[in-house]
Amino acid sequence: MTMFQNSAIMDGQSTGPDQLSAVFSALGDPTRRAILLRLVEGDRTVAELHAPFAMSQPAISRHLKVLEAAGLISRRRRATARLSHLEAAPLGEATAWLARYQAFWDGRFQQLDALLAALQAPPPSPASEPAVEG
Q: Which domain holds residue 70?
A: 3-88
Residues 63 and 104 in one domain: no
**Does residue 68 sit in the same domain as residue 94?**
no
Whether residue 99 is found in the same domain as residue 84: no
Query: What pLDDT is recorded for position 128?
Result: 59
8 and 33 assigned to the same domain: yes
pLDDT (0 to 100) of residue 115: 93
Residues 73 and 97 in one domain: no
How do residues 80-91 score in pLDDT, each as one tens digit? 889 999 999 999
One domain for residues 65 and 109: no
Within this chain, do residues 10 and 56 fall inside the same structural domain, yes or no? yes
pLDDT tens, residue by residue, 12-37 = 444 445 899 999 999 999 999 999 99
Q: Are residues 61 and 103 in the same domain?
A: no
Q: How far apart are CA 36 and CA 30, in angstroms?
A: 10
CA pair distance 6, 99, nearest whole angstrom: 25
Shared domain for 24 and 52, answered yes or no, is yes
| pLDDT tens-digit map of 99-113 | 988 988 999 999 999
Task: Rounding to the nearest 10 degrees, give the CA dihedral for residues 9, 71, 88, 96.
Answer: -60
- One domain, residues 13 and 45: yes
CATH number of the structural domain spanning residue 70: 1.10.10.10
Q: Note whether residue 125 is domain-resident.
A: no
Which pLDDT does position 103 carry in this prediction?
Answer: 86
Q: Are residues 43 and 68 in the same domain?
A: yes
Task: Let me know whether 44 and 11 are in one domain.
Answer: yes
pTM for the structure as a whole: 0.68
Total domain count, the chain = 2
Is 134 domain-assigned? no
